[in-house]
Structures are given as C-alpha cells and as structure tokens.
C-alpha cells in the first residue's frame, strides 16, 4: 500500500538558517504530493503541492520538487523565521478512485529560535 516516510524530528534551527525536511514515498501509479503545515492549536494548512514528476511546488519561500526517480519530495527553505515554527506533514494522494484519500507521514516538528 501507499506510505510516506519523513525525517525524524524534532528539528531545531536558528533564524535565517537553511531548512531541509526529507520525505520519501511508496505508491502505486503516479501520486500527487503535498506538504501541509500545522501551527499550534490549529488544523492543517496546505503549504504546497506537485502533481507530476519534476514539478516544483512553492509557497511562502518553501519549495519542494517531485522526484520520481528517487521517490522523494523534500521540503526546503533558504532562510527560516521564528514564525515558521510548526509541524510539517508530507502526504500523497494516489488519485483514481481513492476519493482524494491522503496518506500522511508522521510529521516533523520544527522549532526556530531567534
């Protein structure tokens, strides 16, 4: 079945540091890939997405590229801010008749210090 593996957290960085959160997946067919972010006390918000190989999703300075050859969708940001502190989830959707069912990774807690 489908699965998503994220790097273990928590990740602690200083402000303006470079961020990478690794995500690899296993899926049948050609899934769509997503990064969601959850701020304290809130639900999940879609951060970015990519629907086919070599697509790059980007939003708010975050980027991730759909790499079919390595089955990866790593999240990057060049300079993090304290306000980026949150939990980040990688997810995939296999499409077809799955009605958009999302398979999530376990989440990575990011803490950014001033």
The site for other proteins (CB under 8 A) is made up of: 32, 34, 36, 41-46, 49, 51, 89, 93, 95-96, 99-102, 104-107
3-state secondary structure 41-69: CCCEEEEEEECCCCCEEEECCEEEECECC
Of 18 and 30, nearer to other proteins (C-beta) is 30
Q: Are 105 and 4 in contact (CB under 8 A)?
A: yes
Contact criterion met (CB below 8 Å) for 29 and 94: yes
Shortest Å, Cβ 3 to other proteins = 10
Residue number, 43 or 114, with CB nearest to other proteins: 43
Query: Collapsing DSSP states into helix, strand and coil, what is residue 94?
Result: coil
Q: How far is the CB of 35 from other proteins (least distance, A)?
A: 12
Q: Cβ 83 to other proteins, closest distance in Å?
A: 18
| Measured CA angle at 37 (ends 35, 40), to 5 deg | 165
Shortest approach of other proteins to residue 19 CB, angstroms?
21
Nearest to other proteins of 100, 114 (CB atom): 100
């Amino acid at each position: 079945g489908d699965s998503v593996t994220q790097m273990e957290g928590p990740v602690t960085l200083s402000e303006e540091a470079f961020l990478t959160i690794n995500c690899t997946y296993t899926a049948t067919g050609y899934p769509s890939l997503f990064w969601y972010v959850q701020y304290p006390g809130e639900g999940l918000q879609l951060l970015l997405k990519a629907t086919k190989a070599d697509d790059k999703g980007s939003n708010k300075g975050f980027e991730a590229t759909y790499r079919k050859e390595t089955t990866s969708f790593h999240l990057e940001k060049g300079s993090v801010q304290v306000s980026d502190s949150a939990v980040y989830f990688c997810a995939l959707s296999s499409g077809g008749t799955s009605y958009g069912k999302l398979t999530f990774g376990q989440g990575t807690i990011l803490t950014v210090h001033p």
